[in-house]
Structures are given as C-alpha cells and as structure tokens.
Amino acid sequence: MAKLGYPAFPTHPGEIIKDELIARNLSQREFAKILGISYSVLNEILNGHRTITAKTALLFEASLGIPADALMNIQMKYNLQTARSNSEIKNWMSKIRQAVAVL
C-alpha cells in the first residue's frame, strides 16, 4: 500500500468522528440523539463496522464541521485498502491480469 501513498493500516472515518466526540466531551448517545440517528448505527460507524453514507457524512459536516467530501474520500480509501488486502479479491485480480496479459 505504501507505493499508492496510503498508510499501512486503513483509517475508517469513524475513528476521526470518535476522536472529535472525545475532544468535545460529547457522548455517543447524546450525539446520536442530536443527529436523529440510533445509537447503534452511530456506534457501528465509530467502531468501523458500518460505512458512512452521503447522508451521515452531511450530518457529521453540519454538526462537527468536518467536510462531508473529506469523510467520503476517507471512506472510499478505507474500502479500497480493505478490498485490496482481501485474499479472494487478490486471487481474482491476479487471474484477470493473467488473462488480459495474453490478449
């Protein structure tokens, strides 16, 4: 991943949101209530078990001032890094590269 300019371990945007809540001394339950989403959805995002969507990125932008497009970009990079490290996808891509090389 280093040759692509990505860190060794992907960063989920939920980690950034979680750090921001801690810095603001804001509980997850209180923040979820402010946003109008369930605590479980927010908790899953903050712990990297759920992706952020355009809607949630806009909610975070409105409430925390973190640009939605930056959060979506971080999510995309996280998804790509995670997919690239998946052995099934690696094997599939290798077979495709081999097939295309003979064309």
- Alpha-carbon distance 101 to 52, whole Å? 37
| Sequence-distant (≥ 6) Cβ neighbours of residue 26 within 8 angstroms | none
For the stretch 30-76, pLDDT in tens is 999 999 999 999 999 999 999 999 999 999 999 999 999 999 999 99
pLDDT of amino acid 85: 87
- Alpha-carbon distance 40 to 44, whole Å? 6
- Alpha-carbon distance 86 to 10, whole Å? 13
For the stretch 73-91, pLDDT in tens is 999 999 999 998 888 988 9
